[in-house]
Structure 1
Amino acid sequence: MSHDTREKIIQSASELIYASSYSDVGVQAICNHAGVKKGSFYHFFASKRELALAMIDAQNEQAKNAILDPSFASDIPPLQRFTHLLEMMYQLQTQSKSECDHVLGCPIGNLAAEMSTRDEILRQKLDSTFAKMKQRFKNTLQQAVDAGDISDIDLDNSADALLAYFEGIILLAKTRNDPDIIRKLVPNIKGLLLAKERARNNFPQF
């Protein structure tokens, strides 16, 4: 069986689960969408979980190439990279709203919210995905400090805060079914970093 068949199965799973949920999409529905038989599915994947792990890898690669690498290009000033990322997120969520009348959110965030308490292997995979994004944020913040754009901050905590902020914005946009909330909250990024710096200087650490 061809590599193309495997990719069709992964892409079908990604589309169906993103539009609905992991629990609501069965193997048969994925096979029907991909135009393959169950035998083809189990030739490539021992289980739905194994497919989900491959799907996460594929989604990460797609996001890296189409969103993250362009947003965090080295010729963009460090703090502006976060703005670029939110703008790309806005465009994607606006597109989903136009196509299916719903803001679909972050596929990784959606899966994490649904499965982190149900499947430890998937939770670890999703946590690893967020860790990679956090590291990208952390590296960018270090470059912003080096450029004098912000004062020296706790890079690790600040990267976590930004990651939580980004995922929270997308979740809020999904819940309100309104992508415009993403653009409205873009100016808060630098304020979040400055607030963390003030909090570190003025409040006791726990």
Structure 2
Amino acid sequence: MSAQSDTRTRILEAARDLIYASSYADVGVQAICDRAGVKKGSFYHFFKSKQALTLAVIDHFFSDFRDSLIREAFHSDLPPPERFERLVALAIARQEMIHRETGHVLGCPFGNLATEMATSDQTIRGRIETVFSRLQGYVRDALRDGIERGDFPPLDVEATAAAMFAYFEGLMLLAKTRNDPAVLRELLPAMTQIRIPLAR
């Protein structure tokens, strides 16, 4: 990794960790530079603004989430019902680990940013909407596979995927609000049972 690439990565990872643990509004450029061990000049060499950095952080979050959770949960070799069960188990384990390490349930990084920024920054809102659409697509594809294999009955795939994803995000917010990962352990498995029938 080149020195420039290393510096950019340090800034990205510092911003990712600080924003996830706190909020967009509470994390300033100086705090990010201090955490990354760089000067402000280096920050603005790579990112023209805090907004530009946040867009890159969203992409970084998505890449990490996809590689560490989505690909393992939605592996095509798994029967579709097991994909959802693994997603639930991995999501619970991730939040329990974070709670043990920090004392806090941090929830979904995309949901956190959406809650904070959706009405104030349309560029960030749009990027998060794209991420949500991609994540929901994994759910939709697993449902379709399950119907084709006979694992699920005929159902409204789009509506079911949207409902399952909304349930997931809502519980992440509830667990964060209560600062209790037990919320996820108790309620998140019910996501796997959501089914919206086809309209008659």
Bin the TM-score by the shorter chain: over 0.9
Which SS does the other structure have where 1:23 is aligned? coil
CA distance in 2, matches of 1:19, 1:191: 31
**Helix, strand or coil for the counterpart of 1:197?**
coil
Percent of aligned positions with the same letter in both sequences? 44
Given the alignment of the two structures, is residue 82 of structure 1 paired with residue 84 of structure 2, yes or no?
Answer: yes
Give the corresponding residue for 2:122: 120
75-84 or 129-138, larger mean C-alpha shift: 75-84
Q: For residues 73-122 of structure 1, give each alpha carbon's deviation from its aligned partner in whole angstroms, at most 9, with x where no partner exists.
A: 11211022111111111111111111111101011110011000010000
Partner of 1:49: 51
Q: Which runs of 4+ in 1 moved over 6 A?
A: none
Which stretch of structure 1 is more off in the superposition, 165-174 or 12-21?
Answer: 165-174
Q: Encode CA deviations 1:147-179: one digit per residue, 9 max, x unaligned.
A: 111111111111111110111111111111111
Q: Secondary structure at the match of 1:152?
A: coil
Trace 1:100-139 onto structure 2 (pairs within 5 A): 100-139=102-141
CA shift, 1:190, in A, is 4.0
TM-score (norm 2): 0.95
Rounded Cα–Cα distance in structure 1 between residues aligned with 2:58 and 2:193: 32
Superposed CA offset, 1:3-41 (max 9, x none): 010000000000000010000000000000000000000
Match in the other structure for 1:22:
24
Alignment partner of 1:97 out of 90, 96, 99: 99
Q: CA deviation at 1:186?
A: 3.9
Letter of the 2:152 counterpart: I
Selected match of 1:71 from 73, 91, 115: 73
Once superposed, what is the RMSD of the aligned Cα atoms? 1.3
TM-score (norm 1): 0.92
Matching of residues 168-179 of structure 1 within 5 Å: 168-179=170-181
CA distance in 2, matches of 1:186, 1:54: 29
**1:48-82 Cα distance to aligned partner (Å, 9 max, x none):** 00000111111110011100000111121102211
